[in-house]
Structure 1
């Protein structure tokens, strides 16, 4: 159940203008009954002006009267006529300029240690492009000689929870992608 607009001010109004129990008011506004009792005692919310939920279309007088008559009944918030805002997508993730040079290292780490991840998962995880992933995989990247596989979490390119979620999603899919044969760091140093 959603809470009313301005819950503490609504609680102040309900305490001042109705004979509802503390439990009824607390349940409606989403507060603890002791906090509602503190409002009634004047210990909390001294400067808050009451917010009338009836005048603002959140409750009806009949609902309040019915709840005043029966202390076991709970107030129900009226459905709002105002449409809820649409959730916006996050959009492209911003990577600071100082961390952009670390992306190929993170890509190399993921390609070597998590071959089950698809290119699109790596793209989303590190905010990179498919072209960059392909160049790191094929070792045709402009900076190939300096790429050292490093954990993207330590580099700050993604969080551990995002990486774990991507690996878990790849594991559930069971893509059966064979591991990519990338030379190890020891082999790179020997060359």
Structure 2
């Protein structure tokens, strides 16, 4: 059976306008026979307007006539170009030219040094590398560790500036949310009183300081 557009609406039309069995309609529309019976009884899809599969190009008149003449015949839907176009297309894996692959460790080191908040998964997806490679660069166990230096991936031509800004922005927002959830690194517990500052005790003034000198203090006594 080929998936069709608007299966319930199509089933409503077939129930109202043909002599097909519930099993035939269910097989064509991808529904359960009991669900088709519920449509016929008015318990299911009561407010759905029927869609003619002959008009929208999902069924031919010959197929419908064969099915009505033979209860055991199962109709084959016409493959719709529009249905194929509506299917989500998965983006192909990111390809990095061979000439640029040697630059990826430099870009990884740039992330490690300048944006530690960006996760390994984000770096791997952005640069088309693996988490194992990122780990070897971070731990300096890469086979070319002596020659690896942090270089902006935009400068290397591995990513665009908009892509880089988006990844860094998302990582920063996630880190801010995590810090707020954990109470922040610098926040003190609620109700904690700050430690009192040490009291500075000034020295008492010397009573002798500022007094005028006497003869005894200058020349001493004769004894």
TM-score where L is the length of structure 1: 0.51
Matched, 1:134 2:137: yes
Counterpart of 1:147 in structure 2 is none
For residues 22 and 131 of structure 1, what CA distance do their matches in structure 2 show? Answer: 58
Structure 1 residues 142-184: Cα deviation after superposition (integer angstroms, max 9, x where no partner)? 9xxxxxxxxxxxxxxxxxxxxxxxxxxxxxxxxxxxxxxxxxx
Structure of greater relative contact order (alpha carbons < 8 Å, 6+ residues apart) = 1
Stretches of structure 1 that go unaligned for 5 or more consecutive residues are 104-118, 143-191
For these two proteins, the number of residue pairs brought into alignment is 121
Counterpart of 1:46 in structure 2 is 46
CA RMSD of aligned residues (A): 3.8
SS of aligned partner of 2:4 = coil
Structure 1 residues 43-78: Cα deviation after superposition (integer angstroms, max 9, x where no partner)? 011100001100011111221111011000001101
Match of 1:88 among 83, 87, 90: 90
Q: Is the 2:2–2:79 contact (alpha carbons within 8 Å) kept by the matching residues of 1?
A: no
Structure possessing the higher radius of gyration over alpha carbons: 2
SS of aligned partner of 1:138 = coil
TM-score where L is the length of structure 2: 0.45
For residues 14 and 131 of structure 1, what CA distance do their matches in structure 2 show? Answer: 58
Counterpart of 1:23 in structure 2 is 23
For residues 13 and 116 of structure 2, what CA distance do their matches in structure 1 show? Answer: 53
* Offset at residue 30 of structure 1 (A): 0.6
